[in-house]
A and B are shown apart, each in its own frame.
Chain A
């Protein structure tokens, strides 16, 4: 055991068998394998070579290892370039965004045809047509003379409807000649 570390009480030191100390001392004083330093140096050299091999090969003057960035002029130019890029980007965004732009109409895309639903089978909707008026007496003569009996008939019918209390709605209407 390391004499510098023998700070435990004697009773405890004696309690530990000598075999433990012997084993630990044996390991602590193991001979170093031959050529260890050479292998470490070789490993470090190999690591440097692999560290230098990069996908992007910079030209000699622009290589980061050449410390060209330490020049005040170059650093100033780089800082100015960064400021220009940031300011330009900000101006580009500012100029493209209009704060009070009117809302545009939203174009809704047509619904895609759902497969598996019911189809029309080629059927066409036909609107229900009304039967046209049938003229019993063809109109001839002056229009004012022809309209007079019609007006009288209409008046009589309204009077009859008012008297019947709405029964006229169920009765078939008489065609009116115009």
Chain B
């Protein structure tokens, strides 16, 4: 009798966990996709990373209730996944970034030439960003997301808030130098 009651409870629990997971997907899939895209700069890779995040959540769904801030927790997971993938796929040519950016940029009535020119410009900026040291670059990228405060960025990167501030300060200085005097940082 006890087994049957336990089975009913477990079914209820499984159902609740599935509903919680579905709610997480609908609530945070977009944010996670954008965070992933900012690193991998490829829609397919970004989508794969988001999928991987929720698969990991599914595997560790028992600990879902213990998570204090699910949004930061999910962003941290996707951040680690995309950094790992980026590290592995270092051999990808940089020209892919330009073509991918040209494909995903919003057209807004621009001509094909203007879109290509804008994509090239953004690719140049991103190439300059890639020359930044990893710590500064990561803070600069995450600071662009309106959803993330400096405290949350610190939580994602597992550093203190003051470190976030100082790294962002350095990143902006370095970025200004790079754009005015290319290759002066390294």
| Chain B binds chain A | yes
A residues with a Cβ closer than 8 A to B are 1-5, 7-9, 12-13, 15-17, 19-21, 23-33, 36-37, 39-41, 43-44, 47-48, 61, 65-68, 70-72
- Judging by beta carbons under 8 Å apart, are A2 and B146 in contact? yes
Residues of A within 8 A of B50 (CB): 36, 40
How distant is A26 from chain B, measured CB to nearest CB, in Å?
7
- Judging by beta carbons under 8 Å apart, are A19 and B58 in contact? no
A4 to B151, CA, bound (A): 10
- Judging by beta carbons under 8 Å apart, are A20 and B179 in contact? yes
Q: List 29 A-B contacts (CB under 8 A).
A: A4-B149, A8-B168, A12-B169, A15-B172, A17-B179, A20-B129, A23-B126, A24-B38, A24-B141, A24-B143, A26-B105, A26-B122, A27-B34, A28-B38, A28-B144, A30-B37, A31-B106, A33-B43, A36-B30, A36-B33, A43-B54, A44-B54, A44-B55, A47-B55, A48-B58, A65-B10, A66-B3, A67-B9, A70-B3
Interface size on B, residues (CB 8 A): 51
- Judging by beta carbons under 8 Å apart, are B6 and A24 in contact? no
Residues of B within 8 A of A33 (CB): 33, 43, 47
B7 close to chain A: CB less than 8 A: yes
Segment at the interface with A among B20-28, B66-74, B81-89: B20-28
Partner of A61, one of B2, B3, B10: B3
Residues of B within 8 A of A5 (CB): 143, 148-150, 153, 168
B80 close to chain A: CB less than 8 A: no
Residues of A within 8 A of B38 (CB): 24, 27-28
- Judging by beta carbons under 8 Å apart, are B143 and A2 in contact? yes
- Judging by beta carbons under 8 Å apart, are B165 and A25 in contact? no
- Judging by beta carbons under 8 Å apart, are A17 and B146 in contact? no
How distant is B81 from chain A, measured CB to nearest CB, in Å?
14
- Judging by beta carbons under 8 Å apart, are B172 and A7 in contact? no
- Judging by beta carbons under 8 Å apart, are A23 and B47 in contact? no
Partner of B6, one of A12, A15, A67: A67
How distant is B42 from chain A, measured CB to nearest CB, in Å?
12
- Judging by beta carbons under 8 Å apart, are B34 and A30 in contact? yes
Residues of A within 8 A of B150 (CB): 4-5, 7
A14 to B55, CA, bound (A): 42
A61 to B105, CA, bound (A): 55
Knowing that A30-B33, A72-B2 touch, tell me 18 more A-B residue pairs with CB under 8 angstroms: A3-B146, A5-B153, A8-B168, A12-B169, A23-B122, A25-B144, A27-B38, A28-B34, A28-B145, A29-B146, A32-B29, A32-B33, A32-B34, A33-B33, A39-B51, A40-B54, A66-B3, A67-B7
